[in-house]
């Protein structure tokens, strides 16, 4: 039987789980970004679509892990992905709506969603805001967050998977533990999203707890396949 685990084994605290949830799922958007209506994005993702990423700890300079995301199910309301980490057993379940807002990841549920989906069409200077509630199904300890995203530019990015024209999007998230408001977490997320692969090709996430940096992680696309 397949088990569902966090992205990196051995880190089971609530804040770590939430941080990883914000890391692995914040930018899975449609290739209709270039001005198509939102309803035309519905068919952009298909079962079997796959993206592979290398992650790096920017504080130590060491490689962390390689993981892949594969679309396993598409329904009128949800897109389901399976995340696996090379060299680790088990997998992580990711559930999105069709605007690529996360509804669920592993044992964390977002209401109404995590607010980090796309707002079509993308254009330099465009920004959007959202609010959410996150609740681990095991503990029930809720937190609330606010999200601000902005398209800050367009850049050409080269990784081992190829060269891509991208939108550079900056997202800031503030997350507060409702039972202890002093537990403030902040996430500064920068992605380079490529319509060509219906995904981001580079990402950088800085995590802060009570305004102190606790993690700085980067990721790059190393391989992909689209099930056209």
Given the structure tokens 């504080």, which residue do they identify?
59
- Give tens-digit pLDDT for 139-174: 777 899 999 999 999 999 999 999 999 999 999 999
The answer to whether residue 42 sits within a structural domain is: yes
Q: What is the mean pLDDT of residues 35-52?
A: 66
From the list 57, 3, 48, 1, the residue with the least C-alpha distance to 226 is 48
pLDDT of residue 28: 43
How far is the C-alpha of 103 from the C-alpha of 132, rounded, in Å? 10
Q: What is the mean pLDDT of residues 80-98?
A: 94
Contacts of 154 (CB under 8 A, 6+ apart): 124, 165, 166, 167, 168
Q: Quick one: pLDDT band at residue 40, thresholds 50, 70, 90?
A: very low
Q: What is the mean pLDDT of residues 48-57?
A: 97
Neighbours of 71 (CB within 10 A): 22
pTM: 0.80
The answer to whether residue 4 sits within a structural domain is: no
The answer to whether residue 227 sits within a structural domain is: no
How far is the C-alpha of 93 from the C-alpha of 49, rounded, in Å? 15
Range of the domain at 202: 14-222
The answer to whether residue 122 sits within a structural domain is: yes
Q: Quick one: pLDDT band at residue 99, thresholds 50, 70, 90?
A: confident
pLDDT of residue 197: 86
pLDDT of residue 137: 82
As for how many domains the chain has, the answer is: 1
We report the CATH number of the domain holding residue 38 as 2.40.360
The answer to whether residue 105 sits within a structural domain is: yes
How far is the C-alpha of 145 from the C-alpha of 159, rounded, in Å? 32
The answer to whether residue 134 sits within a structural domain is: yes
**Is residue 21's pLDDT more than 60?**
no
Instruction: Please give the torsion angle defined by the CA atoms of residues 160, 166, 167 and 173, in that order, rounded to the nearest 10 degrees.
Output: -10
The answer to whether residue 48 sits within a structural domain is: yes
Q: Please, what is the average pLDDT of the chain?
A: 83
Q: Which residues of 20-32 are buried (b: 16+ CB within 10 A; e: fewer)?
A: bbbbbbbbbbbbb
- Give tens-digit pLDDT for 58-70: 999 999 999 999 9
Q: Look at the chain and count its residues.
A: 228
The answer to whether residue 86 sits within a structural domain is: yes
């Amino acid at each position: 039987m397949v088990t569902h685990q966090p992205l990196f084994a051995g880190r089971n605290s609530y804040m770590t789980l939430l941080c990883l949830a914000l890391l692995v799922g914040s930018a899975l958007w449609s290739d209709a970004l270039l001005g198509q209506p939102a309803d035309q994005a519905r068919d952009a993702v298909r079962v079997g679509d796959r993206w592979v990423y290398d992650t790096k700890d920017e504080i130590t300079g060491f490689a962390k892990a390689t993981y892949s995301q594969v679309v396993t199910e598409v329904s009128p309301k949800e897109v389901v992905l399976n995340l696996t980490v090379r060299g680790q057993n088990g997998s992580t379940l990711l559930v999105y709506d069709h605007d690529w807002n996360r509804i669920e990841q592993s044992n964390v549920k977002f209401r109404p969603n995590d607010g980090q989906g796309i707002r079509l069409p993308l254009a330099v200077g465009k920004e959007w805001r959202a609010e959410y509630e996150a609740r681990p199904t095991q503990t029930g300890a809720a937190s609330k967050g606010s999200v601000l995203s902005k398209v800050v530019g367009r850049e050409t990015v080269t990784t081992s998977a190829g060269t891509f024209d991208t939108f550079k999007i900056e997202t800031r998230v503030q997350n507060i533990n409702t039972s202890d408001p002093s537990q403030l977490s902040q996430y500064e997320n920068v992605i380079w999203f490529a319509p060509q692969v219906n995904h981001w090709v580079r990402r950088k996430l800085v995590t802060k707890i009570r305004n102190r940096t606790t993690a700085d992680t980067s990721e790059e696309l190393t391989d992909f396949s689209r099930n056209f």
